[in-house]
Structure 1
Amino acid sequence: MTMNVPGTALRSPDAARTADPARTPEPAPTAAVRQADGMAVASFVFGLIGLLAMNLLLGPTAIVLAALALHRGTSRSGRARLGLALGVADLVVLAWLVSADQTWSWSIG
């Protein structure tokens, strides 16, 4: 049973929880931030796979996705920066292999 003391208002336990700024829940990420997070993860994956295969296609794709994710304010900025670095590394590896073989098609062995 809850009693009302003069000069105080009745509050539910939920109201007491939300009144404390340290305990307020964080707002849910918007659709744009979730999409930017997906772009950051995709750029990382494309950059990583691009080191092994199809680096002419996956390297620039990783760079573009990472730049878009960073521009849109992703919460995974470290992963987007890593995707950007891996995309650049893809193009560097491609340039090195093309200069070694003197052709756009390269193979190991």
Structure 2
Amino acid sequence: MHLTAPATRRTGIRDTDGMAVASFVLGLLGLLVLNVFLGPIAIVLAAVALARGTNRRGRAWLGLGLGAADLVVLAAFMQADNTISWSF
């Protein structure tokens, strides 16, 4: 029983590190496409990774910032075009 507890903890940390990286990647992609979906997902993944104590805090913070930037870009283009979406 003692041997399974550290393995479970290590898997949880790896999962949070993956969430931090995924939030960064999705936030970055969201600046170009599907920002209405990818922005909120990046924000949620980053918040969960930070709450669970990821080792990749920088990437999680970048994912959080990029997710917020996705929503700001969407709002700016929606104001400019008077639509609920934007395209190149």
Same fold (TM over 0.5): yes
5+ residue gaps in structure 2? 1-5
Deviation at 1:89, TM superposition (A): 0.2
Secondary structure of the structure 2 residue equivalent to 1:30: helix
- Give the number of aligned pairs: 82
Residue in 2 aligned with 1:66? 46
How far, CA to CA, are the matches of 1:89 and 1:81 in structure 2? 12
Output the amino acid matched with 2:51: H
Of the three residues 29, 41, 50, the one matched with 2:30 is: 50
For residues 13-42 of structure 1, give each alpha carbon's deviation from its aligned partner in whole angstroms, at most 9, with x where no partner exists: xxxxxxxxxxxxxx8871111000000000
Residue in 1 aligned with 2:63? 83
Deviation at 1:106, TM superposition (A): 1.4
Output the amino acid matched with 1:60: P
Whether 1:99 and 2:76 are equivalent positions in the alignment is no
Output the amino acid matched with 2:76: W
**Equivalent pairs: percent with the same residue?**
66
Q: TM-score, normalised by structure 1?
A: 0.72
Deviation at 1:72, TM superposition (A): 0.5
Per chain length, whose mean CA-contact separation is higher, i.e. which structure has more relative contact order (CA < 8 Å, sep 6+)?
Answer: 2
Q: TM-score, normalised by structure 2?
A: 0.89
Deviation at 1:61, TM superposition (A): 0.2
The question of whether the paired residues in 1 share the 8 Å contact of 2:74 and 2:85 is answered with no
How far, CA to CA, are the matches of 2:86 and 2:64 in structure 1? 23
How far, CA to CA, are the matches of 1:96 and 1:105 in structure 2? 10
Output the amino acid matched with 1:48: L
How far, CA to CA, are the matches of 1:93 and 1:35 in structure 2? 29
